[in-house]
Amino acid sequence: MIYDSLREGDEAELSEVLAGSFGFPASEAPDWFDRAGRDNLRLLRDGATPVAGLMHIPMGQFFLGRSVPIMGIAGVGVALHMRDRQLGKTLMLECLREIAEQGLGVSTLYPATQTLYRSVGYERAGMSSELCVPIREWQSSVPADGLEVRPLIDDDAEAVQGLYREIAQEKHGYLDRGPYVWGRVRQPRKRHTRGFGFFDGQTLEAYVYMSQTQREALANLHDLWLSDLAATSARGYAAIFKFLRAQRSVVENVEFRAGLNAPFLSLLRENSFDHKCEIDWMVRVTRVEVALEQRGYPEHVRGAVSFKLRDAIIPRNEGLWSVAVSEGRAHVERGGRGEVSLDISQLAPMYTGYLPATTLRRLGMIECEARTAQLLDEIFRSPMPTICDMF
């Protein structure tokens, strides 16, 4: 098997591989390739024929206020007749080595199966939720005066992205979106999306992107799917609420992705909404020193600890690493006494803040003294990491 980029003549075969894996017509695959960028496609070929493929999604992810460059992984698929040969694992092994060679410290993905990704060093490291709020409940407890709503146009893109980034850098785990994810916000696959901005004069204070889904049982009603909403103020969120509720004559429910506890929902008069589903995403640390030095840390914490890491896939990660944290930054170098012994996969939930070291120690996932685990808890202390996007 040969790990390779997309070449001329590969597209039809790779389209069939991914269509078979994800259950859509092969004719729709080229649009997906366009969105991801053909330079970001990777595949395994059996001789000249593609038999497995995936997509690189370069972007960033905010960890305690700092944007860490990451490689998202999407569209991992294997030809239906080749699924007994562990090609998915082979593909991911080669992909991870490439990511590490590029100098990126972190890879993030949503797993269709945890078994495959755990076998190459990923581990559950954050959560995402899908929420449903009945249209009648979009009533704000604060006023929405003074903002003008109007459809977003191409010239508003910079302001929208700037507003999102201002909010996202305060949200532990949110994506620092690249073109692929912004494409999913503005034009999700098979959905016609409309964007609306809420302006104070020429200043954008809030925005929402929404699409409509017909309700089968009630032909005169539809639901709204919000691919994104954000505001820089309570007034901005109140304006979004008012705008959504104005659609109530033809809308039943409003659904969207958010963190575990979308804080803006506290501005609703009544706390009436449902968690439709929750899904964990996974992280793989690909360059230990890069990942640790790029992350943010609590400003008040000072401490040093050394890790003894095991990584059977990326040998450069193995061995002893010393980490010293102060003033919200980490300095990482080779060496140390190895006060903490762990596999590379167990670094991920500690790194993101998904699980504290004291819990990992109690579960037997890391080996260290109790006081060392407590120090690690302080070093990596953060809110529960969450993402409001799928990719």
Reported as a single tens digit per residue, the pLDDT across 78-94 is: 999 999 899 999 999 99
Identify the CA nearest to 108 among candidates 129, 127, 122, 87. 122
Which architecture does CATH list for 2-121? 3-Layer(aba) Sandwich (3.40)
DSSP summary character for residue 191: -
Contact 338, 279 (CB under 8 A): no
Say what the pLDDT of residue 219 is. 66
Average pLDDT score, the chain: 95
Reported as a single tens digit per residue, the pLDDT across 183-212 is: 999 998 878 999 999 999 999 999 999 999
Q: What are the tokens at 89?
A: 């694992």
Residues 6+ apart with CB under 8 A from 371: none
Could you tell me the fold of the domain covering 129-280?
Aminopeptidase (3.40.630)
pLDDT confidence bin for 278, thresholds 50/70/90: confident
Reported as a single tens digit per residue, the pLDDT across 90-103 is: 999 999 999 999 99
**pLDDT beyond 70 at 21:** yes
pLDDT confidence bin for 214, thresholds 50/70/90: confident
Residues 6+ apart with CB under 8 A from 35: 180, 183, 184
* Percentage, residues of the chain above pLDDT 90: 91
Say what the pLDDT of residue 148 is. 97
Across the strands, what pairs with 53?
Answer: 43, 77
**More confident position, 191 or 371:** 371
Residue type, 47: G
**pLDDT beyond 80 at 376:** yes
Domains 2-121 and 287-379 share a fold: no
Residue identified by tokens 């980029």 is 5
CA distance 277 to 157: 30
Report yes or no on whether pTM surpasses 0.85. yes
pLDDT confidence bin for 5, thresholds 50/70/90: very high
pLDDT confidence bin for 341, thresholds 50/70/90: very high
CA distance 364 to 159: 47
Task: Provide the b/e sequence for 240-269 (b: ≥16 CB within 10 Å).
Answer: bbbbbbeeeeebbbbbbbbbeebebbebbe
**More confident position, 187 or 319:** 319
pLDDT confidence bin for 259, thresholds 50/70/90: confident
Say what the pLDDT of residue 308 is. 98
Reported as a single tens digit per residue, the pLDDT across 25-41 is: 999 999 999 999 999 99
**pLDDT beyond 80 at 275:** no
Could you tell me the fold of the domain covering 287-379?
Nonspecific Lipid-transfer Protein; Chain A (3.30.1050)
**pLDDT beyond 90 at 336:** yes
**pLDDT beyond 80 at 388:** yes
Sequence spans of domains, the chain = 2-121, 129-280, 287-379
pLDDT confidence bin for 217, thresholds 50/70/90: low
Q: What are the tokens at 196?
A: 């609306």
The Cα-based distances of 169 to 62, 163, 174, 350 in angstroms read 6, 10, 7, 20
**Across 8-12, 218-222, 361-365, least confident range:** 218-222
pLDDT confidence bin for 271, thresholds 50/70/90: confident
pLDDT (mean) for 304-319 = 98
Say what the pLDDT of residue 218 is. 59
Say what the pLDDT of residue 262 is. 86
**pLDDT beyond 90 at 261:** no
The Cα-based distances of 21 to 24, 36, 95, 111, 157 in angstroms read 8, 17, 19, 14, 34
Identify the CA nearest to 376 among candidates 304, 269, 296. 304
**Across 128-142, 194-208, 282-296, least confident range:** 128-142
* Percentage, residues of the chain above pLDDT 70: 98
Task: Judge residue 364's burial from the number of C-beta atoms within 10 Å of its C-beta, 0-12 exposed, 13-18 middle, 19 or more buried.
Answer: exposed
The Cα-based distances of 189 to 18, 49, 178, 269, 389 in angstroms read 15, 27, 17, 33, 14
State the Cα torsion 132-135-141-142 to the nearest 10°: 100
**pLDDT beyond 90 at 229:** yes
